Structure 1
């Protein structure tokens, strides 16, 4: 069980944005900069409060990003800007839900914080504790109803949300596990790499014999990492060798601690009746639907409530489809409404 440290939480209203015209009798929607602390690091985030009546306590959702240096809006440090979390916040605001999204370690205003001079000590449990501190900050906001809290996580953030769902107080009323990391990290990496090698073989870049050799080298690399041995990369293509090399050295502690989590086991800690939405997209090559089978079964055994698993036709890992390459696909929004409008 991951050990959570108690984080001192403080919220500051720094920036307020209001629409040009407010509905009479209602407080207009606002964005507020939130500051809280986790393990000695000052963490920065955005609280969005939709239009509401004075004194009203609203349903609220903590938004958790996927893997890597992904900031509060769901964007990597360079390149594309999918705005995954920002668009989720907009969608949930339409249903009257307060949202909190924050810059996790290594991103945005937060940066590495207390780990600036010792990044090799930054492990996956630190990210879970940071998310717990964010949950507590959201719980304590004057506009939120602590008995109507949700956790909405994407990819690795969904696994983090699942871990929080069985440990935080008060327990969340619901979880949205969107395209979740539902098996061990290195098993998922191996699956992704083998799919890429299979596609390269279909295109004639590898012979079947070479494909089998590369797959065996991938399996050997995973075993070596789990046994804390140096990875032999001689039989691997350069890009795959570079990936496994990046899993060693300063990143070894994070990889080991992330890979130690088997999400189906975490489902057992959920409070029976917790509403859970689990989505998978048929065009998601990073987290294929089949990888969520064991977690779906574990949620059923834990007596989690619906909607349960929802398969999203034509939707990819960033929750887009061919007709909506820059926005969340309608099936994603429909699935979220099945959770929030219960």
Structure 2
């Protein structure tokens, strides 16, 4: 897949991304990564090697849809943009997206571009259109939470048998962060300090303050909500909350699709985890057609 490296001036250095121009170049999407250290291809730490965003770019190009995949401020090829990748806010990411949208519109020759946010990237997409002004055609929200992230994390911890002994501490820490307050490291069990370092706590306080459904309700443009029934992180009920907030949104539920936009190859959570670690697994068959059909649909502008 031929791609060009694009760059954008960040706070201290360059933000970078990979642009793929489809032969037909009928539309263009900006792919916004999910939470944590996730790179432009959809890979990162803790064994995450799914290649989901690269597979999206390849599949969309075959449908005539160009794309830009980005590394987030302070991470991977965008590491020079800020000295500490944890010293960011959702508003910072949203501002980067707005500026990328302007650059991508100019580079692709399209009057407007589509924002394709995955997981937490969907929240960033929603935040980036809150004030308008950017050349955005509409939103594609894939595996995007419909509730504040603190509530989602609490549910995820409860569903994980391995965290059962730590649930009281986890709930206490989350409740404190949701109030906008930090927790001293000595008040956090040693096994959880990596998750709640001072830098990450500051980011979580900001992250937890945003309600995706409220942001969705304030957006009047076209939007596609794409959610899988095999997702062990974000539920179909989250997608329905987003849909309820925006009656004109299109909701597409893909049977058996995991959080990484791939079909779970078997039964149980262990099988779902293979979609996070096996880059050879393809995207669910419905994903690319659903996105391409939506962004290429004729509309009055």
Q: Specify the TM-score bucket, using the shorter chain as the normaliser.
A: 0.7 to 0.9
Identify which of 34, 37, 42 aligns with 2:9.
37
Aligned pair 1:313/2:277, yes or no?
Answer: no
Shift of 1:114: 4.5
**Unaligned regions of 5+ residues in structure 1, if any?**
1-16, 18-29, 201-205
Contact kept? 1:283, 1:315, Cα under 8 Å: yes
Shift of 1:39: 2.7
Shift of 1:335: 2.1
**Unaligned regions of 5+ residues in structure 2, if any?**
266-273, 276-280
Aligned pair 1:115/2:82, yes or no?
Answer: yes
Bigger CA radius of gyration: 1
Equivalent residue pairs, number:
283
Q: Tell me the equivalent position of 2:183.
A: 230
Q: Tell me the equivalent position of 2:201.
A: 252
Once the two structures are superposed, residues 184-222 of structure 1 have per-residue CA deviations (whole angstroms, 9 ceiling, x without a partner) of 11111110000113xx6xxxxx9xxxx5x8544433222
Identify which of 127, 130, 142 aligns with 1:178.
142
Shift of 1:167: 3.1
Shift of 1:267: 1.5
Once the two structures are superposed, residues 115-170 of structure 1 have per-residue CA deviations (whole angstroms, 9 ceiling, x without a partner) of 31x555323322222222211110111x33114x2111110111111222333434
Aligned pair 1:128/2:94, yes or no?
Answer: yes
Distance 1:285 1:233 in 2: 31
Q: How does 1:191-340 map to 2 (within 5 A)?
A: 191-197=155-161, 215-227=167-179, 228-230=181-183, 242-243=191-192, 246-270=195-219, 272=220, 274-300=221-247, 304-305=248-249, 308-323=250-265, 326-340=281-295
Normalising to structure 2: TM-score of the pair? 0.83
Once the two structures are superposed, residues 276-304 of structure 1 have per-residue CA deviations (whole angstroms, 9 ceiling, x without a partner) of 1112211111111122332221112xxx3
Q: CA RMSD in A?
A: 2.7
Shift of 1:337: 3.2
Aligned pair 1:189/2:153, yes or no?
Answer: yes
Shift of 1:86: 0.8
Distance 1:44 1:232 in 2: 34
Contact kept? 2:98, 2:134, Cα under 8 Å: no
Q: Tell me the equivalent position of 1:106.
A: 74
Once the two structures are superposed, residues 39-58 of structure 1 have per-residue CA deviations (whole angstroms, 9 ceiling, x without a partner) of 34311111111114xxxx74
In 2 relative to 1, CA 41–265 (structure 1 residues): closer, same or farther, beyond 3 Å? farther
